[in-house]
Amino acid sequence: MADSDQKVDFGFERVARTEKAERVRTVFASVAAKYDLMNDLMSLGAHRLWKRFTLSLTGLRAGQQALDVAGGTGDLAAGLLRQVGKSGHVVLSDVNRHMLELGRDRLLDAGFAGNVACILADAERLPFPDNSFDCVTIGFGLRNVTDKAAALASMHRVLKVGGQLLVLEFSTPQAPGLKPLYDTYSFKVLPRLGQIVARDAASYRYLAESIRMHPDQETLLGMLRGAGFASSRYHNLAGGIVAVHRGYKI
């Protein structure tokens, strides 16, 4: 069977590998205009705290280089820019042109210019030289990637030796009694909220399904190690609803 004919997860559906990438692009083109508002509503603003925690782990210093993969509207990229300062450089990348344009505009409106680049790029095939970045981040994007192992290998390749990857993503609830409440919210409340605010229940139903199909904490940890990352570990946030996985290139 050709790679293009292989079936992969698109939420709870099984679709052709090439079809998933196009359908993900369609989802994010649909939700782009309301993406930031929906993030605030869905998480009651907690996504800002999760991103702040992720940024606190980067270890970046002034003058260094950072890459935000699947960076969407630029929240993590803005934080990275503050950390590396005017002498450093940050690349915001995303496979979706609509999201990337929103991120670019937000960064420009925030006064960032000159040391930031916005690049249309597939996480599985990052168009950067080996050993380019001191830190790579990906926030709420890995679960939408068709070939997660390829994306992790690509991010490992572009990191400098000693550089760190940080993966912020929805994960599997660990706190007792949390999962049934979270399932009710995800499959009943979230699509309804998407319909009311973004006029798009189907895209938010997919987003809920994609979270359930994403590897759990231990499985993703094994994937990082399999991609060559050392000292890999994770931090559970919000009872495991969200986790930050991290590892280093040695």
- Residue ranges per domain, the chain? 32-175+206-248
CATH number of this structure's domain 32-175+206-248, picked from the four choices 3.40.50.150, 3.40.190.10, 3.90.120.10, 3.40.50.300? 3.40.50.150
Nearest-angstrom CA–CA distance, 129 and 151: 15
Nearest-angstrom CA–CA distance, 62 and 81: 9
Instruction: Report yes or no: 46 and 69 within 8 Å, Cβ to Cβ.
Output: no
Which residues are paired to 230 by β-bridges? Answer: 248
Q: What angle do CA 140, 143, 138 make, to 5 degrees?
A: 40
φ, ψ of residue 173 to 5 degrees: the values are -55, 135
Q: How far is CA 40 from the centre of its chain?
A: 16
Q: Give Cβ neighbours of residue 11 (< 8 Å, ≥ 6 apart).
A: 205, 206, 208, 209, 210, 213
Q: Each residue's pLDDT tens digit in the chain (250 positions)? A: 345 568 999 999 999 988 998 898 888 888 888 888 888 998 989 999 999 999 999 999 999 999 999 999 999 999 999 999 999 999 999 999 999 999 999 999 999 999 999 999 999 999 999 999 999 999 999 999 999 999 999 999 999 999 999 999 999 999 999 999 999 999 999 999 889 988 889 999 998 999 999 999 999 999 999 999 999 999 999 999 999 999 999 9
For strands 242-248 and 89-94, give the pairing: unpaired
Instruction: Report yes or no: 238 and 50 within 8 Å, Cβ to Cβ.
Output: yes
What integer pLDDT is reported at residue 1 of this predicted model? 39
Instruction: Report yes or no: 76 and 56 within 8 Å, Cβ to Cβ.
Output: no
Nearest-angstrom CA–CA distance, 48 and 76: 10
Closest CA to 124 of 66, 70, 58: 70
Q: What is the pTM of this model?
A: 0.93
